[in-house]
Amino acid sequence: MTNGVGSWIVKHCNRFADKTAIVYKEKQFTYEQLNVRVNRLAHALLDIGVRKGDRVDALLFNTNEMLEAMFACAKIGAIYVPINFRLSVDEVEYIVRDSSPHHFIYDERMKPLVDQLRERMTFISDWIHVGQHPHKRDLQYDQLLAGSKDEEPGFDIGLDDVHMMMYTSGTTGNPKGAMISHGNTLWNAINSIHFRSIDAEDTTLAVAPMFHIGAMGVSATPLLYKGGTVVLEDQFDPRAVLELVQTEKLSSLFMVPAMWMAMTQVPNFDDYDLSSIKYNISGGAPCPITVIEFFQQRNIPFYEGFGLTETAPSVSLLDPENSFRKNGSIGKPLFHVEVKIIDHHGRQVPTGEVGELLIKGPNVFVGYWNQPEKTKEALQNGWFHSGDLATFDDEGFLYIVDRKKDMVISGGENVYPIEVEQVLFRHPNIKEAGVVGVPDEKWGETPKAFVVLEDKNQTLTLEDIESFCEGKLARFKIPKVIEIIEELPRNATGKVLKMALRKGEKGQVK
């Protein structure tokens, strides 16, 4: 019998078969019911030719099928590849060609895109349709389950086996397939339980898309490892989330900063009963301090987490007790994670100095799919080279200064956009801000701020920005150019697409 991720629900069946595992809309599945559905899907995949190591690609929303497919692949040693449903057909095609699956599962809401794909993807032998109106040549998900077997597949799965491939955000070029092993997901769950109060009575909400490692690895898998309940929501609406907190008695919420910001803007926020929440957690991008203050003032503990696709994802956590005192920090490394900061010669830097963040631990990924050179570059002597610039303070708190590629060098001085953005967030009429470097004849580069206004009827000038930043930032860090835009371009994880800003592309969301 499997020893990997797929064994979790089997073991929970033996403990509490009738306990609710997942909830999606009007559907609820106990651990026993979930295990039966997973086994049936696993056997159905075997019957149509899926074998250990094969990739099974999926365009699915946060539905029960998303998790069923992940666990079914885990039980038979296949590699599950959830794809960002917000991508264009060309972007999806790149991932599918790169992962080279023979089997593809998709939600009926993705049928228009899949119909374009199927003309190009002739190497896919089976398309599995989730919904009521499949293409005439497609297999229907529920029918596959109805005609399949309940018993355990009985495969021997090792913790080093790859069970999932998540494609990186692709903010600097084509995305790479990060191979996540069973052991990576297990140790991420162990790390999560060690630092967060997670128990089998907890209920969490997975509303951030689970094609992203943050939602899968922060919301879903730690709770299911522990035997808790995961409520699934496939569309984000801040009012709907507040209503789910009340009706499902949610004990925790994970979202990205843009979602948290939207929550704070619900006019009657304080009318909702949020007494069941033990804590909130934000990740994917730096969270404005104003958002953290909003929840802390309502006695809702707020964590900030830092992680990467390649670390499955959790690396560090800033606890609520230090969220104000250490604002801007990503906290301290999790229990089974080691970090160090090195200079360009590979030497560890002294406390307070900036260098590249390296990460080591059983949560660090196996490598990039079909990219041995990039894997060799990223994984050296057991350490993952993150590409993030970071520093430690004298109390051991970790700060991400910026991505190496995003640092602005102005007149020989290093300017870290995150530092500038955190100051701009505090301006009363700035809702969001993104800072990039732009060419400057005198200084080589200079900071440019793209800002989204709280009140579009009020003007905001460069002089206003300079006056506000005076005394808060060194003069060379103060933006020399500003541009007011409707919204920042972000990917699905909430990260601002700095490359798009540099190219003058605004307001795109993928």
Model confidence over 255-305: pLDDT tens digits?
988 789 899 999 999 999 999 999 999 987 778 888 999 999 999 999 999
Which H or E element spans position 290? Answer: helix 289-296
Contact 369, 383 (CB under 8 A): no
Angle between helices 31-47 and 7-16 (to 10 degrees): 150
Cα–Cα nearest to 276, from 209, 216, 191, 205: 205
Helices (H), 59-169: 64-76, 89-99, 111-120, 141-146
Taking the mean position of all CA atoms in its chain, how far away is CA 208?
8
Q: Write the DSSP symbol of residue 171.
A: T
In a domain, 308, yes or no: no
In degrees, to the nearest 5, what angle opens at C-alpha 295 toward C-alphas 290 and 299? 140
- 327 sits in the region (left: phi over 0; alpha: psi -120 to 50; else beta) called beta
Range among 1-5, 341-345, 499-503 rated most confident = 341-345
Contacts of 73 (CB under 8 A, 6+ apart): 42, 45, 50, 56, 79, 80, 163, 164
pLDDT at 404: 65
Cα–Cα nearest to 342, from 285, 384, 395, 405: 384
Of 166, 181, 196, which residue sits at a domain end? Answer: 181
Examine the pLDDT at 506 and tell me if it is beyond 70. no
Neighbours of 14 (CB within 10 A): 9
The CATH number for 52's domain is: 3.40.50.980
In degrees, to the nearest 5, what angle opens at C-alpha 483 toward C-alphas 478 and 488? 100
In a domain, 256, yes or no: no
Number of domains in the chain: 2
- Listing from the earlier edge strand, what are the strands of the sheet with 430-440? 430-440, 444-453, 481-484
**What is the mean pLDDT of the segment spanning 317-329?**
92
Instruction: With cut-offs at 50, 70 and 90, classify the pLDDT of residue 170.
Output: low
The residue to which tokens 């610039």 are assigned? 389
Instruction: With cut-offs at 50, 70 and 90, classify the pLDDT of residue 509.
Output: very low
Q: pTM for the full model? A: 0.84
CA distance 497 to 508: 9
pLDDT at 171: 47
Instruction: With cut-offs at 50, 70 and 90, classify the pLDDT of residue 91.
Output: confident
Cα–Cα nearest to 106, from 66, 144, 59, 67: 59
pLDDT at 243: 97
In a domain, 478, yes or no: yes
More confident call, 439 vs 368: 368
Taking the mean position of all CA atoms in its chain, how far away is CA 475?
35
SS3 letters for 428-448?
Answer: CCEEEEEEEEEEECCCEEEEE
CA distance 369 to 375: 8
pLDDT at 507: 45
User: How high does pLDDT run on average in the chain?
Assistant: 92
In a domain, 362, yes or no: no
In a domain, 70, yes or no: yes
Provide the token pair at 16: 């509490």
Q: Write the DSSP symbol of residue 347.
A: P
Contacts of 135 (CB under 8 A, 6+ apart): 111, 115, 118, 127, 129
Lowest mean pLDDT across 75-79, 131-135, 138-142, 167-171: 167-171
**What is the mean pLDDT of the segment spanning 372-382?**
96
Neighbours of 370 (CB within 10 A): 13
Contact 214, 254 (CB under 8 A): yes
In a domain, 424, yes or no: yes
Three-state secondary-structure class, residue 477: helix
In a domain, 61, yes or no: yes
In a domain, 302, yes or no: no
Q: Which residue range forms the structural domain that includes residue 125?
A: 34-151+158-181
Question: Which amino acid, residue 480?
Answer: K
Q: Where are the beta strands (DSSP E) in 269-326?
A: 279-282, 302-307, 314-318
The CATH number for 457's domain is: 3.30.300.30
Contact 211, 132 (CB under 8 A): no
pLDDT at 508: 39
